[in-house]
Structure 1
Amino acid sequence: MSLEDADCPPLSDVCSGGAAYEEDDSDGWDEMEINIEQTTCLFCPLQFHTIAVALDHCRSEHKFDLLDLKNKYNMDCYSYLKMVNYIRLQKPDPRILTESSVALWDDDVYLKPGDMETWLMYDFDDLGSAPSTPHYAIDGKTPISNINFSDLQKQIQDLTMQVRHRDLLLETYLKDMEKMREVTRTIVESGESTNRKMAHNVVSSGCESNDYFNSYSHFGIHHDMLNDKVRTDSYRDAILKNANSFKDKTVLDVGCGTGILSMFSAKAGAEKVYGIDQSEVIYKAMDIIRENNLQDRIHLIKGQLEKINLPVEKVDIIVSEWMGYFLLFEGMLDSFVYARDTFLKPNGIVLPNRCNISIVGVSDTDRYDRVINFWDDVYGFSMKCMKAEVFKEAFVETVPEDKLLTNAQAITEIDLKTCNLNACIFSSKFTLTAEKDGTLTAIAGYFDTFFDLDNNVQFSTGPHVDKTHWQQTVFFLADVVHMKRGDIIEGTLSCTRLTKNVRGLSVTITIGKSKYQYVMD
């Protein structure tokens, strides 16, 4: 597409007073239809005939001075477009924009075209310069008395061409960005296919995995999490039953998803809640916040936590449902720790503040036959070679309580107020005692979560309580152990990160002379 292809009358026909004007003795007003689209204020429903009057209204009524903002952030036209789209999408209080130390709209996601409106056609580059269109109206009227009709027509056509030209540039810019993303993605994927070495204690300062965050764009996942009453009721009770800790406080919700924890916090009396999420579901969360009339107290930000800037320097409380399977697999502990170390005030509160991982022995020969011995005879063919691969996998499933063989034992505890990123790397000895006769076919892992406040709340994901969406993580044993009540097995469980996927885990279980290696990827 070129500018010559644009559906725009030649400037010479409009501005030179040529043939089009010689055929008519009128003053020319009928030669051009001027469609005056009213401008809606950026922060309220009021409408105005011109941008200039709307700017004056924003300055006087909302204390929002666009020229001051332009100078403060050294904004260009692209930054202006992102700012308008940000305001329309997020609907922030103007004070958040003017008082923030950073440009909150500085994310390419806000270049995504939205509804066309007069603000997006404003000649932002000329803001504050003379003799451009006035910065503000005078007494509510735009001072155009010195502009004659011919000049006005020329300005309209020039501005129309500028808008179309910028639309073309913006379209090209977005296409170039997508090409760059594809090239980068190809380079990264090809790089990951090589065998790279990384020390076992090297950890991530944030995950770049699009697949991980894209998975949380599927609404079925959020339905499962919200429908998990153990999880959601516990967070609700921890927040609402400790409203005295939230009253007039500033809260950061890490990985806010649909915004349920943000809304609990606001209901508990928090003065301001900032929710951050990298997945696309945050756009629906914004609708949910507005649907519940909480947009004045909850401000949502799309982006990677490690790369965003908050409108405030520090917060009083951090809430997050960061836990994954086996607590640490595909969890967001790294982001939680980063948020705590970067944004939490000294003596601030983190919720939850403590978690532990426990294991228990399982005796379920029927399940063992379906998963493991199945490969002995598959439609008359032996596929025993598959067993070695199956034994490397950890299974996420619900263990029936009547299949528990031993007592449970906690193997690690994480204090979320003080832990570092190496909390994912641990080794623990265990001793499990059979509580009945049976065959030890697997070790099951689960976690407990604690909210230690004035009114303490905790929940477990173990097989002895109501089911959660985390269920349990089952490690099948190649060498089953026949046990009598009172028999003891001793062993060691070690956990570390995968080098190719920092959200993945490598788990090693040693029982006697048998050593089992499992990959959670």
Structure 2
Amino acid sequence: MAEEADVPPLADISCGQEDDDSDGWDEMEVSGEQTACLFCSKSFLTIAVALDHCRTEHNFDLLTLKKKYNMDCYSYIKMINYIRLQQPDPKILTESSVALWDDDAYLKTGTVEPWLMYDFDDLGTAPSTPHYAIDGKPPLSNMNFSDLQVQIQHLNMQLRQKDTLLENAMKDMQKMKEVTRTIVESGDANLKKIPHNVINLPAGSDGEYFNSYSHFGIHHEMLDDKVRTFSYRDAILNNSEVFKGKEVLDLGCGTGILSMFSAKSGASRVFGIDQSEVIYKAMDIIRENNLQDTIQLIKGKLEQINLPVEKVDIIVSEWMGYFLLFEGMLDSFIYARDKYLKEGGHLLPNRCNISVVGISDTKRYDNVVNFWDDVYGFSMRCMKNDVISEAFVEVVPSDTIFTNSVVVTDIDLTRCDTTACEFTSKFNLTANSDGTLTALAGYFDTFFELPNTVEFSTGPHATKTHWQQTVFYLKETVELKRGESIECKLSCTRFKKNVRGLTVTITIGNNSYQYLLA
């Protein structure tokens, strides 16, 4: 590894730049694309001149706004899109006490224009503030255009050099980590008995999903969910005759709680697999509880590794997501079952179903949907369609249950395939009182059908879990009398590119609504 003095300081790359797009940026600057003023019809050769114009002619000082609202590059993109869409008077923006554009809807843009390519993160720092003289240096808007190109090429060359140094440094650090881990593990007699596979695999399209489980808060939330954790504990410990002397696979082991329950129930060996970084803490937890002779942890994606054994007797996994299937691990659970479970082996859980129930909660409906009719004296009804198209994950008060509950799909995990995520169900909902149907709430039940059966529900009638309920608000509410029924249909399909996402289509009477769980 190079001496520390030979390594120049690393570049601070803004969120708006891609690693390998610098050449494209050069070409865009050379093209001389006109930059239209944010507030009038004038156009300018460079953003630098356009910024000067906005500051002097419209009293719109971007640097002042950046400091006032503590803006980052994402806030800047939202502001530009807000201005293009809403065409506000600049005085409204500069005098407002809040950032009017602070809505993620404004991150979506159609046309990419020079304003959106501006390196906003460097605004206010020398030498990258184009419309201010800093430390006696002239504003970039007054510099010769060819000089700008020379400066850009020079900076890009420096950036590439620093990227190369950074890449080499990361490789050296990875080698050091591997050497250190080898030294530590070779000095621990217990670790020699149970080698830990710590293969780091590329996250691919699942990177964001697995990274979310690297945050310890989510594990605290799951462990603190007593309905979830006690159900798994009881299913394992109350069926010790099933676990005694058996080999167990804990898929998505997280902090290792189910692996430790399995070991306590008499399993001879337990293999815990997880892709997220939390598995390194799980290793510490296993040692802290002196279970390293029984439990072996493996870091990696199940589909890309091989277990130390050909088959296991039991697979245990808390694979379920919101609405059971959203961001769940059903595909991996099925893969583990088909590749590693012995004939006659056990799955925990072995069955799940999804149910829906009608909800009547006009107060909540007003807060979520009708809120947009009058927002501080302004109509924002155009927001309703986007709001309603998203399913909400929240706790539904039990006293708002308005209809019977209907099972829309039942999944036998011992024989299902991945098409279980896509289904259509027709059913009737019957009102249990006079009222207004404002939403449907989806939830799931989980079953451990062993000699001592355990089950739990995530419905609004049961004790709250971290899954809560998935609520689908209706654009058109339905008035029903007690005992009156209405025909419904629910279809669930997967996203084509992100298989952890779902599209749910609900038909009530003559109206159909589509919801995204993304």
From 84, 89, 94, the counterpart of 2:182: 84
Once the two structures are TM-superposed, the CA of residue 4 in structure 1 deviates from its matched residue by: 13
Q: Which runs of 5+ in 1 are unaligned?
A: 7-76, 98-103, 110-180, 186-206
Q: How far apart in 1 are the matches of 2:427 and 2:4?
A: 77
State the aligned residue count.
350
Aligned to 2:501: 504
1:454 maps onto 2:451 in alignment: yes
Q: How far apart in 1 are the matches of 2:492 and 2:413?
A: 18
Residues 68-91 of structure 1, C-alpha deviations (whole Å, 9 max, x = no match): xxxxxxxxx999949826835997
Q: How far apart in 1 are the matches of 2:215 and 2:410?
A: 32
Q: How far apart in 2 are the matches of 1:327 and 1:497?
A: 13
Aligned to 1:357: 354
Once the two structures are TM-superposed, the CA of residue 508 in structure 1 deviates from its matched residue by: 0.3
Q: Any conservation in 2 of the 1:82–1:105 contact (CA below 8 Å)?
A: no
From 234, 239, 254, the counterpart of 2:236: 239
Aligned to 1:289: 286
1:107 maps onto 2:199 in alignment: yes
Residues 464-493 of structure 1, C-alpha deviations (whole Å, 9 max, x = no match): 010000000000001100011100011110
Q: Any conservation in 2 of the 1:394–1:475 contact (CA below 8 Å)?
A: yes
Q: Any conservation in 2 of the 1:437–1:484 contact (CA below 8 Å)?
A: yes
Bigger relative CO (Cα 8 Å, ≥ 6 apart): 1
Aligned to 1:227: 224
From 304, 309, 323, the counterpart of 1:307: 304
Aligned to 1:435: 432
Quote the sequence identity (%): 66
1:413 maps onto 2:410 in alignment: yes
1:139-288 counterparts in 2 under 5 A? 208-288=205-285
Larger Rg: 1
Once the two structures are TM-superposed, the CA of residue 93 in structure 1 deviates from its matched residue by: 5.4
Residues 101-120 of structure 1, C-alpha deviations (whole Å, 9 max, x = no match): xxx747258xxxxxxxxxxx
Equivalent AA in structure 1 for residue 430 of structure 2: T
Aligned to 1:465: 462
Equivalent AA in structure 1 for residue 333 of structure 2: F
Q: 1:106 to 1:445 in 2, by over 3 A?
A: closer
**Normalising by the residue count of structure 2, what TM-score does the alignment of the two structures yield?**
0.64
Q: Which runs of 5+ in 2 are unaligned?
A: 7-174
Residues 6-34 of structure 1, C-alpha deviations (whole Å, 9 max, x = no match): 9xxxxxxxxxxxxxxxxxxxxxxxxxxxx
CA root-mean-square deviation: 2.4
From 375, 378, 396, the counterpart of 1:378: 375
Q: Secondary structure at the match of 1:482?
A: strand
Q: Any conservation in 1 of the 2:360–2:435 contact (CA below 8 Å)?
A: yes
Q: Any conservation in 2 of the 1:90–1:300 contact (CA below 8 Å)?
A: no
Q: Any conservation in 2 of the 1:96–1:311 contact (CA below 8 Å)?
A: no
Residues 153-173 of structure 1, C-alpha deviations (whole Å, 9 max, x = no match): xxxxxxxxxxxxxxxxxxxxx
Q: Any conservation in 1 of the 2:200–2:299 contact (CA below 8 Å)?
A: no
Residues 164-188 of structure 1, C-alpha deviations (whole Å, 9 max, x = no match): xxxxxxxxxxxxxxxxx8xxx9xxx
Q: Any conservation in 1 of the 2:394–2:471 contact (CA below 8 Å)?
A: yes
Q: How far apart in 2 are the matches of 1:2 and 1:462?
A: 59
Q: Any conservation in 1 of the 2:194–2:292 contact (CA below 8 Å)?
A: no
Q: 1:93 to 1:226 in 2, by over 3 A?
A: same
Q: Any conservation in 1 of the 2:193–2:293 contact (CA below 8 Å)?
A: no
1:490 maps onto 2:487 in alignment: yes
Q: 1:415 to 1:88 in 2, by over 3 A?
A: farther
Residues 343-380 of structure 1, C-alpha deviations (whole Å, 9 max, x = no match): 11111100000000000000000000000000011111
From 511, 516, 519, the counterpart of 2:516: 519
Q: Secondary structure at the match of 1:220?
A: helix
Residues 127-162 of structure 1, C-alpha deviations (whole Å, 9 max, x = no match): xxxxxxxxxxxxxxxxxxxxxxxxxxxxxxxxxxxx
Q: Any conservation in 1 of the 2:411–2:420 contact (CA below 8 Å)?
A: yes
Q: Secondary structure at the match of 2:308?
A: coil
